[in-house]
Structure formats: structure tokens, C-alpha cells
Amino acid sequence: MKRAVLLACVLAATPAAMAQLYKWVDKDGRTVYSDQPPPSQQSKQLNLGTGQPAAAPRSALDRDKELEKSRQAAKQKSQATEQADLKAEIERENCRRARANLHSLNSDGRVAMYDEKGERAILDDAQLAAERAKAQKAIDEACKSQ
């Protein structure tokens, strides 16, 4: 109990700016706390916090700059996410179209395409096989990420 009272008195008397406290055991076996080191004994220096932040307080201008940096970073991250989502949507649509093209080429009906002159021409078996191979290759490329 006496130690606690002694410690409280020492801590109350110690200026907060100094924040140095020494602890040692005297010749009678009592633990002593003081703001002065003992003259001839081994002691342990205790550091007490002063309640002040370790870093100097930031100015309002510095806080505004940091806030603006974080806003810019968030905006860039949002834009990158939107671009990635748009790219993924385009890839899904390209895959869907390539599969639909192959499905129409595999239908049992006749398949017609427009030639260089803009005229409609019915594909023969060799042309149809070549178009199916092209469509399968387009599927492989467009749907590889899915």
C-alpha cells in the first residue's frame, strides 16, 4: 500500500514533459521510484508516455493532400475495376456469338453466305466444313477464359 502511495506521489510530482522515471531496489529491499537516478546503485529507467502523439501534428493542408491522394487512388481503382468488368462482358458476348455461329453452321438446313459481289451463295460441303473449322477456332479463342 505504501509503495502504491509513493508511486502515485512520484508520478504526480513528475512533470509530464520530462517523462523519465527510475526504478531501483534500496538496501532494505524496498522498490524506489524517482525522477533522479540513484547515485551509487543499478537502476532501470522507465519511459512514461506524455499523452502527446509521437509525430508532430499535421497541418490541414497536409491532411487535405493526403485525402486527395486517397480519393484519386480510389477513383483509379474503381476505373480499373469497371474496365475489367467491361472487358469480361465483351469476352462473354464474343464467346456467345461464336457458339451461336457454330450452332447455325451445324443446323441441318442449307447455309448461305454473301460473296464478294454481295450475292447470296449456298455453301457446298467443303465450304461448310471450312466455315465450321473457322467457327470452332473462333470459339476456342473467344471462350478460352471461360
HEC readout, the chain: CHHHHHHHHHHHHCCCCCCEEEEEECCCCCEEEECCCCCCCCCEEEECCCCCCCCCCCCHHHHHHHHHHHHHHHHHHHHHHHHHHHHHHHHHHHHHHHHHHHHHHCCCCCCEEECCCCCEEECCHHHHHHHHHHHHHHHHHHCCCC
58-76: average pLDDT:
92
Letter for the amino acid at 89? E
Residues 6+ apart with CB under 8 A from 111: 104, 105, 122, 123, 128, 131
Please report which confidence band the pLDDT of residue 17 belongs to, taking 50, 70 and 90 as the band edges. very low
Q: Is residue 60 part of a domain?
A: no
Range of the domain at 118: 76-142
Residues 47 and 16 sit within 8 Å (Cβ to Cβ): no
- Cα separation, 132 vs 135, in Å, equals 5
Whether 90 and 138 share a structural domain: yes
Condensed to tens digits (0 to 9), the pLDDT of residues 80-107 reads: 999 999 999 999 999 999 999 999 888 8
Q: Is residue 55 part of a domain?
A: no
44-55: average pLDDT:
61
Whether 81 and 42 share a structural domain: no
Letter for the amino acid at 13? A
Predicted confidence at residue 110, as pLDDT, reads 85
Q: Is residue 14 part of a domain?
A: yes
Whether 42 and 81 share a structural domain: no
Q: For the chain, what is the domain count?
A: 2
Whether 80 and 43 share a structural domain: no
By mean pLDDT, which of 11-15, 69-73, 81-85, 86-90 is the weakest?
A: 11-15
Whether 131 and 87 share a structural domain: yes
Predicted confidence at residue 20, as pLDDT, reads 75
By mean pLDDT, which of 20-24, 58-62, 63-67, 110-114 is the weakest?
A: 20-24
**Pairwise pLDDT comparison (44 vs 98), residue with the higher score:** 98
Please report which confidence band the pLDDT of residue 1 belongs to, taking 50, 70 and 90 as the band edges. low
Q: Which three cell numbers stand for residue 82?
A: 469497371
Q: What is the mean pLDDT of the chain?
A: 82
